[in-house]
Structure 1
Amino acid sequence: MIAPRRFLPSINSLLALEAVERLGTATAAAEELSLTHSAVSRQLKVLEEQIGVTMLIREGKGLQLTPAGVTYAQSVRECLQDLARASLKIKANGSRRSVNLAVLPAFAMYWLSPRLRAFTGKHPDILVNQATRIAPFDFNREKFDAAVHYGTGDWMGVNYLPLSKERMIPVCAPDFVDSTPLSAAEMTNLPLLHLESRPGSWESWFSRHGVPADRLGGMLFDQFTNMAEAAAEGIGIALLPEFLAESEVRRGRLVPAYPDYMEVEGTYFLVWPKDREKSEALALFLQFLQAEV
C-alpha cells in the first residue's frame, strides 16, 4: 500500500531540497535546476508546510537547512537515485526480461562474461544486468535477483550454485626478476601484493609450501584487477586466481613466479534469496550455468 498523499511531496519540491543540501545555497540549486531563486524558495516552503516540520532557516536572502532538513534531504537523495535507476532500467530493458546480478569484478570479467554470449544467444530476450559488489549485502535492501559470492557457504538465507573452485598462483612482470620460476623461499624476500578481502592468503600459501612467513607486509588492493595491473607494472608479486592469471600470462603481461597452482578452500557461487520465488529469467540463467559447470 502506498503512503497517504500528505507524505508524498512533489518531485519538484524534493529536487529543490536535495539540490540545496548538496550545493549549499538556494542560488546554486536554482542555477542547476534552471529555476529562479524565488521559485526554489517557494518549493521549499510548500514542502515544509506539507511535512509540518521546520527544515529551513531564512537569513536575509539566504537559506540554511536545519538538521532535520539535512537528514531528510539525504533520504530524499537515495529515493531520487532509486527512481532514476528504475527509469533507466525500464528504458534500457524495454519489454525484455532481465536478471539483475551483483558480481565480483574480476570473476565477472574473466569467468562470467565469456559465457554470457552463449546465454544471450539462447535467450536473446533476457538481459543480464551487472553491478559490482565486493562484499555480501542484504537482498532485502538491494534489488538484485542473484549475486556472485566467494566463500565457503557462509551467506545466510540464500541458495547456492557452485560455479568454480579457486586455484591461485604467484605471478609477476616478465622483467621483475632475472629468471623465473622462483622458489617459495626466494619470494619471501621480494615485494608481495595483498588483497584486502583475502587476509592471510600469502601466509597460507607459504605455509602450504613449507616456508615460515608471518606478518608479511606490502601494498594492499581492494580488487584483483588492480593488483594484477600493479604486478604487470613491476611493483611486486601478486597471488592471483587461475581465471585472471591465465588471461594475463597469455597476453604476455605476467609470468608465473612459481610453477604450480594451489587450490584453496573458497568457492565461487551464484546465490539467490531463499525467501523469494525465482523469476523465469533467473531460472533459465541458473539452468544455463548448471550446464556450464
Structure 2
Amino acid sequence: MSRLRHTLPPLATLLPFEAAARLESFTRAAHELHLTQAAVSRQIRALEDNLGLALFTRGHRSVALTDAGAELARAIGHGLETIATTAERLRSRRDSDDIVLLAEMYVAMYWLIPRLPAFQATHPDIRLRVNASTQPLTHAEKSFDLALQCSTRPAGALTPLFSVPDEVFPVCAPSVAEADSLTAADLRAHRILHCRDDPQDGWLSWADWLAAVGLNVTLPEGVMFDSYPVVLQAAVMGQGIGLGWGRGLEHLLATAQLVRPMRASLALPRGLSVYAAAGHADEARTATVVDWLSEALTAATA
C-alpha cells in the first residue's frame, strides 16, 4: 500500500490552509475559495488534528502562522506551484514537432542566435524554437522542452542537466574607458549601470560582485534598468559601466563594441545551466539538442 496514503494529511484541507496562510485570514480564504468561513475553519482544524500541532494562533479578528504552520505553508506552496506549473504545461502541450528552448534574453541574443545556423545546417530535421525571456524559470508562462539560464536564478523543482562555467566583469564602451585602464576607486568617477536588485530573482548586483571579488568600494547611485540586455545596450551606447556575463559577450568584445576597463572578474564555476522540463530529457530529438548545447557550451570558455 502506498506510503502516501498513510503520511499525507487529508488533501481537502490543503487548499484552505494554503489560502489562509497566504492571506493571513480565514475570511479572505473563504471568499477566495467560494466557501464559508466556517468551512475553512473546519478544514484547518481537521489538518491540525491530523498533524497534532497548532498551525495558527487565533486572535479576536486575526490569525497568524505558528512556526509549524509557516514550515508547512512553505512546503505546500512549493508543491502546489509545481503541480500547477506541470498542469499548465500539459494543457498547452503543442501538436507541432517543435523543440522549444526557453533561454535568458541575453543568452538568446548574444550567444544562442549566432550559433543557430550551424545547428540547423547539421540537424535540418529538428525544428528548434527559441523563446527568450528576462524572467527566471519559476515565472515561465509558456511550456518548454529545454531551458538555458543563469544557475543563480530560481528554477523551482527543476535540477540542471549540466552546468558550465561563466565569469562576471565590468564592461563599457571604449569611449567611456580604455581596456585595463581603471582601478576599483576609479569606478566612483563614472556612471554605474545597475540591473534590478531583487534577492528572489537571483541576479548578481554590483554590491554582491564587489564583495565577492574583495573590493571595498562604495559606488554612486548610477542608473537602474529592469533587465540585463538593456544594461548591455546602455553600455554599448557609452552611457556608463555595467556588469557583463562572459557568455555571449565574445562578439561585442571582439569587435570592440565593449571593453573590459578593469581586470577584476568573478568566476562562476556553475554559471550557466541547461534544464529539461519533466519527462522531456529522454526524448530522442530533445537529447540531440542537449548534446549540441553541451558541445557548444564546452567548446571554449567565455
Report the TM-score, using the length of structure 2 for normalisation: 0.58
- The root-mean-square deviation of aligned C-alpha atoms, in Å, is 5.3
The one-letter amino acid of 2:145's match is V
Of 185-194 and 44-53, the range deviating more from structure 2: 185-194
Q: Say yes or no: does 1:237 pair with 2:241.
A: yes
The one-letter amino acid of 1:144's match is T
CA–CA distance in 2 between the matches of 1:10 and 1:98?
Answer: 40
What corresponds to 2:164 in structure 1?
149
Count, aligned residues: 254
Identity of aligned residues (%): 23
The one-letter amino acid of 2:172's match is V
The one-letter amino acid of 2:152's match is A
Of 239-248 and 61-70, the range deviating more from structure 2: 239-248
Distance 1:168 1:49, change over 3 A: closer
The one-letter amino acid of 1:27's match is T
1:86-113 residue CA offsets vs partner (Å, 9 max, x unmatched): 2123233368899998976633442135
Question: 5+ unaligned residues in a row in structure 2: which ranges?
Answer: 130-143, 193-204, 276-280
Distance 1:97 1:43, change over 3 A: farther
What corresponds to 1:5 in structure 2?
5
Following superposition, the deviation at residue 195 of structure 1 comes to: 4.7
CA–CA distance in 2 between the matches of 1:215 and 1:31?
Answer: 52
Higher percent of residues as strand: 1
Answer yes or no: is the 8 Å Cα contact 1:101–1:147 preserved in 2.
Answer: no
What corresponds to 1:171 in structure 2?
172
Following superposition, the deviation at residue 147 of structure 1 comes to: 4.5
What corresponds to 1:163 in structure 2?
none
The one-letter amino acid of 1:191's match is H
Following superposition, the deviation at residue 131 of structure 1 comes to: 6.5
- The 5 Å alignment of 1:113-262 reads 115=115, 118=119, 122-124=125-127, 127-130=144-147, 132-135=149-152, 142-151=157-166, 170-172=171-173, 182=178, 184-185=180-181, 188=186, 190-191=189-190, 193=192, 195=206, 199=210, 218=219, 224-225=228-229, 227-228=231-232, 231=235, 235-238=239-242, 240=244, 241=246, 243-244=248-249, 246=251, 255-256=257-258
| Helix, strand or coil at the partner of 1:279 | coil
Distance 1:229 1:43, change over 3 A: farther
1:49-95 residue CA offsets vs partner (Å, 9 max, x unmatched): 33333324455676554332232222211111111122123233368
1:133-177 residue CA offsets vs partner (Å, 9 max, x unmatched): 44299x9x84235244324xxxxxxxxxxxxxx7988423x9xxx
Larger radius of gyration: 1
Answer yes or no: is the 8 Å Cα contact 1:6–1:51 preserved in 2.
Answer: no
Report the TM-score, using the length of structure 1 for normalisation: 0.59
Distance 1:180 1:233, change over 3 A: closer
Following superposition, the deviation at residue 237 of structure 1 comes to: 2.4
CA–CA distance in 1 between the matches of 2:208 and 2:103?
Answer: 15
